[in-house]
Structure 1
Amino acid sequence: MLEEKLKEAIVEELKRQGAVKADDQTDEKQGSKVRVEGEIDLDDLAMVVAGAMAGGP
């Protein structure tokens, strides 16, 4: 389903961004919720969401 694919893409992008700035951000997924502390690059996140909606990886 598209909704699940979007959720997965968002969480993976948050993890990727967190790995780049490990001291800046933590993400913790619990069920259908995610806790994030730190800065998020919205341009990168938007590209990931758009790609997931278009059927990209």
Structure 2
Amino acid sequence: MNIEDQVRKAIIAELKRQSEANEQGLRVRASEAEMITIEGRVNLDELTMAVVGSLAGGP
């Protein structure tokens, strides 16, 4: 898996996690490989940590 795929996967996974936790009324739809629809507020600190963690070899 290349770095772009890792980052893409981490972003989608974290946004879905935040959405499922119902944080800030966030709704996420990832229907296409290159496109995602986001409605609501995103916790940018948690998103950043998820992306950095994926690049460092975390889950």
TM over 0.5: yes
Query: Do structure 1's residue 9 and structure 2's residue 2 form an aligned pair?
Result: no
Residue identity opposite 1:27 in structure 2: V
Percent of pairs identical after alignment? 35
Runs of 4+ in 1 over 3 A off after TM superposition: none
How far residue 23 of structure 1 moved from its aligned partner, in angstroms, is 7.8
SS, match of residue 15 in structure 2: helix
More strand by share: 1
Residue identity opposite 1:14 in structure 2: L
Determine the structure 1 residue equivalent to 2:58: 56
Determine the structure 2 residue equivalent to 1:38: 40
Distance 2:50 2:24 in 1: 23
Query: Do structure 1's residue 26 and structure 2's residue 30 form an aligned pair?
Result: no
TM-score by length of 1: 0.88
Q: What 5-or-longer segments of structure 2 have no aligned partner?
A: none
**Aligned-CA RMSD value:** 1.5
Q: What 5-or-longer segments of structure 1 have no aligned partner?
A: none
